[in-house]
Structure formats: structure tokens, C-alpha cells
Structure 1
């Protein structure tokens, strides 16, 4: 039986393995800090493999560099021996929810999620520190090598000192911020689906640098747009009032995104107009002349700033729906070859008047439009009126997302204050804006990640979208327990959880039932469940009896161990979990029989046979949980006989 590794993946070793498959001649050996030989890359040979000319030395190239960049990349790739511990008492609907709230350093969290959520996240939204000189950033530790880092990180947990003020007086003002964001974006990219997208809020302080970092991490070809969000109509400044911020958007693979079709958002007010039209059509029994008169009268009553009024030209209708009689004359570009075929009026039988620039459609498309039922060409009372094309609102009720928009930032503050009280969280993000982005790029059962969760706006927005569309989108939020210095909510993470709970309650009240998933599993980053000996087994004798030494920390529960197993095996942390008693032992079943875990002691052969009868795909035991050496030796044989598909491991 193999043991679980119980630490996050070593991304450097994984990258070397991938390159070895492609370029085996570029693999060499080098001694690490301990003098041990390990696989390494011959970068001179690799450069030559990837070049169409002779590479003689270092090549100049366009790139963003800063002091600490190499160390930032190193820390992104270093494994950690930490875990996520479940906290039922702080969760909502722990057993049924598919949402996660992770409390701890987001760099650690992203490493821990690398296998369980690799390539599974459809959308990431983050609102990182803007580096204004007044906010806090993460202070990451680059001083240790990978082995020391692994050993230290399995023994220490304190989050104190992880956040530091980054003032403009700091000589590494921009460098420190870049070193903070770079490894997090590298890890986040791994979690995105091939057709996934990331949105990042930022202001002028680091917008330019962030764009260059994202070009490197996601590829310049995967840049989608830089959205300008105007948050206010006025601002104080001696020179130019800054009333906006940005949202950068990149995708993992633009080609994969485009396969799904273009991104479109509903035209504001269009749904309400179509709803009104449906009411009139039913009440007026499809009397289209009467419907038009009522639609025109309804539009007139709307105020000039009502978004529904923008669609007032949609007042004609036929059996297909509400439409606008749109011009289909050819553009005035001087082309004499524009189609000028005859279009016959259906009542007079005469050729209709032609536009001076000719038709936009050729004769074949015109014939197709006339042959439809009802026809897609709108005629006047006789041939003296130039025909027009019918543009149906239901066919064009969506539009591309604009790169510039206005949304007052104050409404977001009021929304948060209503849920958690006044004065707790300045400048939260607007859930309506986040909802629009979620609707733009995700499908009903997609996963949305925010690893700078703040007050929890992204989770709240996911709930609002699910409520509006009856969908099952899921969120994964990560927030460090940054101290507030106040009693009611001692950390920012406490604020996040409170907001999510209250937002969920509002949803339940609005629909009159708890049928929608408004819960979340609270997980907290902590030291590994395993004692130091698990990671340094050479300090004890490696005979069978020494393996029976319990290497699990005394303060850890069976459920703690279960979630570390889920992480190690790369299993979705939101899968349903049930417990059963089998032969007096507690067994956890994850997602039916996808995984079975028993961490009790005194496991004998009768129990192993009983468990094998359930034919789980995977099973895990406590290494020191077997009643005897013979039981441990025979476990694989029992499963091979009764459940040959089962994969077995211990911890």
C-alpha cells in the first residue's frame, strides 16, 4: 500500500516532467542544496530546441522584470505541507452545500486547491489591494529552499505578520506588490478551465504593471479587454478628478472561449418590454394594430431615463413577435453594384420604390425573407413607400459587454451595511456588476473563484444570479483572517461569513423556501494533520513495526483527516459526505462509493472484508489503525479478491 503524500504538488518537478516528455535531450542532472542528484533542465539546449536560429548566448527580449521576480516564481512552485480543516459550527448547510469559504493565506489556499480544482474553475474575479500606499499586501517568505519550506510549513500556522503596509516610501514599492500578485496569478491560471476567464479590479497605481504581468501569465493573445468602471460623477483633485477604476479581463484560451459563442449581455430593459408585449398579445388576442397603439401609449408614459424607453421603436408586431421596421438600404459608399432588384408590394402588385443606394440584401436573401411565414420584410400602405426589414427584439435582445460603464459605488456600501452594520467594510464591490460578469461568462453549474474575497461580494453575487435564473452556480471564496482591531467582527473573514449568512437568509425569505443552495462549508488552513516524522521518515527505523507508530497529530479529528485525504487525492471538496457504521467502525463515504475512509483503530480482517463488499473506487486507512501486521499485509489481497477496482492508500 502506498502512503498519501500529504502536501501540495511540487510544481517545479511537474514542469520538469512535462518538458522531459517533449524534450528528453534537454534533461540533465544537478545537485540540490543537500548534494543529492535530481533532474534538471539544460536551458541552453532547451532554448536551441525552441529556436529557428543558432542560440549563442542570452537573448534580449521584451519582458517585465523587477527585483524579487525569480523568488516570487520560486515560492509559487514550492510545495507546502498544510491542510484545510472543516469547521461545521461556522458553516451553513455543511452537509448539502457545494460552496466553499476558505480562511487563510490565499497563496497557501491556491496551492492546496491545485489538484482538487485543476482546470475546473470557469470564472475568477479578484479585487486585490490597489497599492495606493495606504493598504496592506501579503509578505511572502522567499528565504528558504523547497525542503526547508516544506518542513517549516508543516509545523507553523500563524497568520500574524502575513500582511504588511506597503507605503510609497518603500524603495521596493512596486516590486513588493508585483512579487505578491505574480505567484498568485500563476497558481490561479492552473485552476481555470480551458474556456475560463479572469476579471481583476485595479486602479491607476498598478494597472499598467498588472497588464504586463497578466500578458506573461495568461499570454498577450488571451487579453480580452480593459473595462473602465466609472464609480462617481465627481471627485476631488488639484489636476484631474479620478472617478473610475478598471477591470482587466483575460481568458485561459481565447480559441476555446470562442467555440462557446460570443459573450452577450441582455439589453437593459428589453426583457421588461417583451414581458409587456406578451401581456398585450394575450389580452388583445394578437390584434397587432391594437397592440401597436397600446405599446406606443405605454412607451410615452415612461420617463426619459427609463431603460425600457430606449426600445420605443419596437412597436410593430406580427405572429413572430415585436419588431422594429429597420432600414435595409445599402450604405452610401458610392458602390454602383449595390443590389437594385425589384421588390413587389403584396397588395398593389407593383414594384416598390428603391433606396438611392440600393438594397443591403442581395436578391437571394430578399427572396428568402419574403418566403418566411410571416415575411421578414415590412411594407408600407402601397408601393410608393420603401420597404424595410423586420428587426425582432427577441432576436437581438442582447449585446456585447461595453468596455465603459457607470455604476455608483455607494449602493454597494449600503447593501453591505444592511447585512452586517455600518462602518465595517469600506468600498465593497457592487454585486450587480459582479452578477453581470457572472452571467456573461458562466453557465448554470459553473464554479466561480475569488481569492481576495473581502466582504464576500462575489459569493453574494453568485446567490443573486442563482436566484434570478434558478441555476446552481458555485463559489469558492478565500480570505485571510485580517484583524479588524474591533470586538464584534475580530477579522475580515468574520465579516465575510456574516455577510454570506445574512445574504442567504434574504434569499430564503424571498423564495419562501430553502430549496436553493445558500450555504457554504468553512475550511481553515492549518498545519498538516501529520506529525513531523511523516515528512522525515528517515529519523525512525523503517521496519514494519515502526510503520505502526501513529504519525497523526493528537488534536485532529477523523473529519480533519478526511478532508486532507480529499485534497491529496484531488477530490472536489464540496462532494456529499455520509457516515456509516460497519462492524462497529465509522466509515466516511464520499460521493456514494467514490471514496471510503476509515480512520478508526483496531481494524481487523472481518471489517476489511465487509468494507470491500461496498466496492469503493478508492479506500484509505490510518497507517497505525490495523489490529496487527498480518491484517495490514492482507488488505490488498482481500480487496483484490472482493473489489479488484479499488485503489488503496494509507496515511
Structure 2
């Protein structure tokens, strides 16, 4: 039975450097010598594609190398489950994580890499106020614990003033490693949208060009956030920007914008055409370079008047002569209301795309004032957020960048607008989107000593309750109306749904699981040189004694790369609780004590349950190493399991 320690790859977050090396080895095995990369050979293999000049185009700043290294450094932390702070813990697939987003993004690499369809973030704008996450290259977990007051010697977030000479540098050092890790989470067709103002929009664009690739730039959207410009500026900005980048522009498919009622009303059917509503469209095709295409230059004869119509002087018809004849035969060419005008194409609603292309200027979504109103309605005097983004803005981003089954991530969660918007959009289109939002528990400065993360959770609870109430009210009303209508026709009243239900109740996920960043449950070897005997005694059980079985279980899921909302089934075997994850792919028993007499019934019970589950892939079994009475008990249990084909047995 192999014992997992804090140094085993399975007990750590993803090692991105090792992954990069493996990819290089697979592509260029000739450049790999004794486990290292020979850059001279690599340069020869890449030929002229290697840039060796000292001066080159790009974005550089002091600390960039350290920021890159910070993204590659594995995390030493874990995420501890908090069912008491959660809503619908047993059924929800949404996540709200408290912690430094850099460390959390590292911890999510194994479980969520390549699975996220949409990332939206609204990072701190660089205004010179407190925003810098003081990342510590040596131990970011200790830094996080100090920052949030969980250990003594807490440090405040430092101000990023222009006088420090690092106005842009600090912001870029904060953003670079987070965006680097975020890219790994995206699916191949995934997309990221980032809100920003004019202080850092140019730097952010260049930063994303480097991380995502300039070819993967989608667009720089202008969002009208205010109805009028502020008066304290020479020219008052009443807009912000939203930068969009894709993981792979070749596979990207953005959704179309829903047509407005005004656009739909342009389509009518005055002649009762069998294909339905239509609107006049151009039959002309512009000529490139002033050259006509002979096959597309011919007269169209008006069947009502016999008049011949030729293309105008700057173009051809869009279709061939045979195709035009077919359109005339099917009454799909329009000659004006009086039947005597120039020919137009009837563009039928059933033939056009389901929506329209999104513009770059978004003046059709709510203003910032609506975001403030939403927060005031939900949290009242508890709100501590300045200008939170309105739900309508995020819902529009969700509509353009995701499908109904997507995972959506926001690692600067703030007031929780993204989580709120995901629930609201799911309620509107019966989607099953999931959110993963991350927020540092920064102090709000209020007298109740609350944190931003606490307000984020409370906003999600109240938003979910509001949406549920609205759906219940709406369904109750519509069901009552339906009952009244059917009573007139003597319908069977038993066929109606229970009024206690609400639309989408079987699918709409209104809950969220809360996890909090903390140091690993696996104790690292940190000897006290003044008391080595006690250090040796403490090391006999390398799992921390103040951690629960649930803490350890979820760290195991995290480090093995399993979804943190994967269904978990529990069963008692030989008096011990056994957790079944993934229909038998992982069986975990973390009982604190397993005696010699309990080994055989426990092992045989596990074998029996495993056979009932009949998992598709190989199964892994994990036990608490210190639980066994002695090495003989551990060896006997392993032997019984292996006799029945269960060879992958580990201990913690």
C-alpha cells in the first residue's frame, strides 16, 4: 500500500513546469537530454522561429519574470468545505470559494483545466487605491493567512500610488500570473471577457496578446455605463471597456444577439406568402475593382409591367439568371408596394440567422446605476460595494459567450454579480450553467467586521430566494389561469402540477457550495529543533489533527483532479464509513481506527460494493495510514483487495 505524503504529485496542485516539460519532450525528443531541455538543440530544431535579439517588441516591466514564476509555482494549500455557509450543499453544482484567487486558481488546475467555457472578470481598476494582492513567492498560503488575519502578524494591502514609481508595474504583476492560470482552465472553444477602464486598457490588451495570443483577440467592446459624463473631468468618460479573447479563435463560436421587437416587426407578410413574414433586401452585389461579371449582368423583367431592370452602374445582381427566374416563379422578388419599383429580394424570417451580430458599442445593456439599485434591493444597508456591475451586463456576456450547459468562472467575484447573473439567465432559458466564483475575504471596513466574501455569499442567498419567489409567483398565477380555463371545459383537474412547484424546479440550481482556502491537511515535515522528540511523535500521523474527515476527502478530490461537486455516496461497511466517488472509480475510507479483526470484513465489504457498482475504469482505494493497528493489518487488507483485482490501494 503506497503512502501518499505531502511531496507526492498526487498530494499537490498541478505542476505546470513539469507539464510544460512533458509537452516539449513529446514534440522535440531530440532536445531532451537526461531529463533536461538542451536549448541549443531546441533552437536548431526551431530554426528561424527563435527570436534572439535583445531589443524586441512586447510588453515588459520590472517583476515580469517573477510574476511568470509565481504562476508556475505549485500551491501548498487546499480548499476546506463549509456546508454551514452553503445553500443546497448535497445537490448544487455551483461553487463559491473564499481565498486568494492566485492560490485557488492553482488548486483548480487539475479538476477544471480545459473545462471552462466562459471566464468573466472585473478586476480592480488601477486608480492608485488599495488593490494589490501582495503575493509572496516563497509561501503564498502563509501570506494569505496573514492578510486575512488567520495568523498573527497580519499585513495590510499596500497602496499602489504613482509616487511609488510602480503605478502600472504593481497592477501588471498582480494580473499576469492570474491570467496565465486562467487560460489553462478554458476549453479549446472557451473565451474570456475582462472589464477595464482607460487606466490600464492598453496594457491589458498587450498582456492578453502575450498570454492568449494576438491572433485570439476577439474585440474591444465599449460599454456605456453612465447616462451622462462626470463633471469633475475636462472630458468626462461615461464608458468602460470589455476586452474579449478566445483560447483558440479557430474553434470559437460566439452566439448571436436576440433580435429586438423592433427588428422582428420589420418582417411582415402583406401578400400572405406561404413562407411567412419577410422584409425587402438588396438584390445587388457590389463590384470589386470595377469589373463586371457577365453572367450576373442581365435584365430582370417586372411581371406586372414588363419593364426591364438592369443592375445599377456600380454592381451586378447577386444571383445568376436561372436563380432569378426561380425566385420570380416563387414570388420571392418584390417590386414595391405599387408593383412598379426596382426589384428587391424578399428576405424571409425563417431563412435568416436566429439572431443578429453583436456590435462593439453596448448601449443596450443596463447602466452602473442599475447595479447599485440591485445591490440596495438585495442587501440594503449591508452593501459595501461601489458601482457593482449590473446583472443585465453579465447576462449579455453569458448569452454571447456560453451555452446552456457551460461552466462559468469569475475569480474577482466582488459582490457576486456573476453568480447572480448565471442563476437569473438559467431561470430565463432553463439552462444548467454552473458558476465557480472566487473572492478574497477582504475586510469591508464596516463596524460589524464583515468581509467582502461574506457579503458575496449573502447576496447569492438573497438573489436565489428572490428568483425562486418570482418563479413561484409566476407559475402559481399561470397554473391558476390554466385551471380556470380548463374548468370551463370540464378538464381533469388532477392533470395539473402541484402549485407548490415552480417552473424549472427540477433543473434550476439555486444553491452553491462554499470552500475556504487553507493550508494543506497533510502535515509537512517541519521539525522543532528545540523539541525533536515531540516533532517525531507528531509526525507519526501526517494528517493534521484539527481537520475533519470531510476536509481530507475534498483535498483528495482536488489533488486527484475530480470535480468538487461530483456526487458522493456513503455506506457503512464493518462499522466504517466508506465514500464512493464516481460510481466506484474512487472508494475512500478515512476511519481513524481499523483493528486487525475489522480488516477482513471491511475488505470483503469493499469488494462486494465494488462489484455491485461495476465501474467502467480502474478503481482506486484510499485509507488513513495511521488508522491501521499495525503493518500486518495494513498488509492483510491490501492482500485481500488485490486477490479480488483491486490493485490500486493508497493510504494518506
Aligned residue number for residue 74 of structure 2: 79
Separation in structure 1 between the aligned mates of residue 195 and residue 61 of structure 2, nearest angstrom: 22
User: Aligned pair in 2 of structure 1 residues 571, 630: CA closer, same or farther (>3 Å)?
Assistant: same
Partner residue of 1:109 out of 99, 104, 112: 104
Contact 2:129/2:159, CA 8 A, preserved across alignment: yes
Structure 2 residue 604 is matched with structure 1 residue 576: no
1:508 paired residue number: 468
Deviation, 1:329, is 3.6
Q: How far apart are 1:79 and its partner, in Å?
A: 1.2
Secondary structure of the residue that 1:50 maps to in structure 2? helix
SS at match of 1:116: helix
Return the alpha-carbon distance in structure 2 between the equivalents of residues 470 and 54 of structure 1. Answer: 50
Counterpart position of 1:633: 635
1:593 corresponds in structure 2 to 584
The aligned residue for residue 521 of structure 1 is 513
Query: Which of 207, 232, 236 pairs up with 1:241?
Result: 236
Moved more, 384-393 or 524-533: 384-393
Change (3 A) 1:629 1:239: same
| Mapped partners of 2:38, 2:517: distance in 1 | 37
The answer for the alignment partner of 1:34 in structure 2 is none
1:413 pairs with one of 361, 372, 390: 372
Which of 318, 329, 332 is the equivalent residue of 1:360?
318
Contact in 1 for aligned 2:180/2:211 (Cα 8 Å)? yes
The number of residues matched between the two structures is 586
- 1:26·1:46 contact (CA, 8 Å) conserved in 2? yes
Counterparts in 2 of 1:381-420, with a 5 A limit? 384-394=340-350, 395-406=352-363, 407-420=366-379
* Cα displacement (A) at 1:592: 2.9
Aligned partners of 1:212 and 1:590: how far apart in 2? 43
Shift of the 535–98 alpha-carbon distance from structure 1 to 2, 3 Å rule, reads farther
**How far apart, CA to CA, are the structure 2 residues paired with 1:51 and 1:343?**
59
Alignment-derived partner of residue 300 in structure 1:
none
Check 1:580–1:369 CA distance in 2 against 1; reply closer, same or farther (3 A cut).
Answer: farther
Supply the distance in 2 between the matched residues of 1:41 and 1:124 (Cα, whole angstroms).
33
Which piece of structure 1 moves more, 232-241 or 408-417?
232-241
Structure 1: distance between partners of 2:583 and 2:147: 33
> Cα offset for 1:486?
1.5
CA displacement at 1:432 relative to structure 2: 0.9
Instruction: Name the SS for the 2:317 alignment partner.
Output: coil
Q: CA deviation at 1:51?
A: 2.4
Query: Does residue 2 in structure 1 map to residue 7 in structure 2?
Result: no
The aligned counterpart of 2:406 is 446
Corresponding residue of 1:50: 46
Aligned to 1:217: 211
Q: Tell which deviates more after alignment, 494-503 or 479-488.
A: 479-488
**Superposition deviation, residue 397 in structure 1:** 4.8
Distance 1:629 1:492 in 2: 48
| CA displacement 1:214-256 (0-9 Å, x = unmatched) | 1111111111111111211222244221111111111111112
Q: Distance in 2 between matches of 1:206 and 1:382?
A: 57
| Residue in 2 that maps onto 1:493 | 453
Contact kept in structure 1, 2:217 and 2:245, CA below 8 Å: yes
1:69 maps to which residue? 64
1:283: which partner in 2? none
Residue of structure 2 in register with 1:32 after alignment: none
Q: Deviations over 1:350-392 (max 9, x none)?
A: 57655545533222432454566xx533456887444422222
In the TM superposition, 1:258-277 aligns within 5 A as 260=253, 263-269=255-261
What is the 5 A alignment of 1:18-417?
A: 18-27=23-32, 39-52=35-48, 59-142=54-137, 144=138, 149=139, 158=148, 160-161=154-155, 163-232=157-226, 233-257=228-252, 260=253, 263-269=255-261, 308=262, 311-312=265-266, 314=268, 316=270, 318-331=273-286, 336-337=292-293, 339-341=296-298, 343=300, 353-354=309-310, 356=312, 359-369=317-327, 375-378=331-334, 384-394=340-350, 395-406=352-363, 407-417=366-376
Q: In 2, Cα distance between the equivalents of 1:156 and 1:13?
A: 30
Quote how far apart the aligned CAs of 1:76 are. Answer: 1.0
**Alignment check: 8 A CA contact 1:106 1:478 kept:** yes
1:463 aligns with 2:423: yes
Structure 2 CA distance for aligned equivalents of residues 488 and 54 of structure 1: 57
C-alpha contact (below 8 Å) 2:141/2:518 kept by paired residues: no
Shift in Å, 1:115:
0.2
Question: Could you report, residue by residue, the CA deviation over 1:102-140 in whole angstroms, capped at 9, with x for unpaired residues?
Answer: 000000100000100010001100111111112412111
SS in 2 for 1:138: coil
Alignment root-mean-square deviation, CA: 3.1
249 and 639 in structure 1: CA distance in 2 versus 1, 3 angstrom threshold: same
Q: What is the distance in 2 between the residues matched to 1:535 and 1:150?
A: 21
CA offset at residue 625 of structure 1? Answer: 2.0
Does the C-alpha gap of structure 1 residues 396 and 582 become closer, same or farther in structure 2, counting only changes over 3 Å? same
CA change 1:194–1:471 in 2 (3 A) is: same
Conservation of the 8 A alpha-carbon contact between 1:154 and 1:527: no
**1:345: Cα distance to partner?**
6.0
Contact 1:266 1:399 in 2 (8 A): yes
TM-score by length of 1: 0.83
Where structure 1 has 5 or more consecutive residues not aligned to the other structure, the ranges are: 30-38, 270-307
1:392-417 deviations in whole A, cap 9, x for unaligned?
A: 23524512221112242101110111
CA contact (8 A) 1:82 1:154 kept: no
Q: Using the alignment, how far apart are the partners of 1:457 and 1:263 within structure 2?
A: 21
| TM norm structure 2 | 0.82
Deviation at 1:154, TM superposition (A): 11
Contact 2:302–2:340, Cα closer than 8 Å, also in 1: no
Q: Distance in 2 between matches of 1:114 and 1:497?
A: 24
Of 422-431 and 41-50, more deviation after overlay is shown by 41-50
**Is 1:447–1:476's contact at 8 Å kept on the other side of the alignment?**
yes
Q: Write the distance in 2 (CA, Å) between the matches of 1:243 and 1:195.
A: 32
Would the aligned equivalents of 2:223 and 2:242 in 1 still touch at CA under 8 Å? yes
What secondary structure is seen at the aligned counterpart in 2 of 1:93? coil
Mapped to 2, the partners of 1:328 and 1:360 lie a distance apart of: 6
- Distance in 2 between the 1:309 and 1:62 partners? 45
Cα distance between partner residues in 2 of 1:52 and 1:2:
48
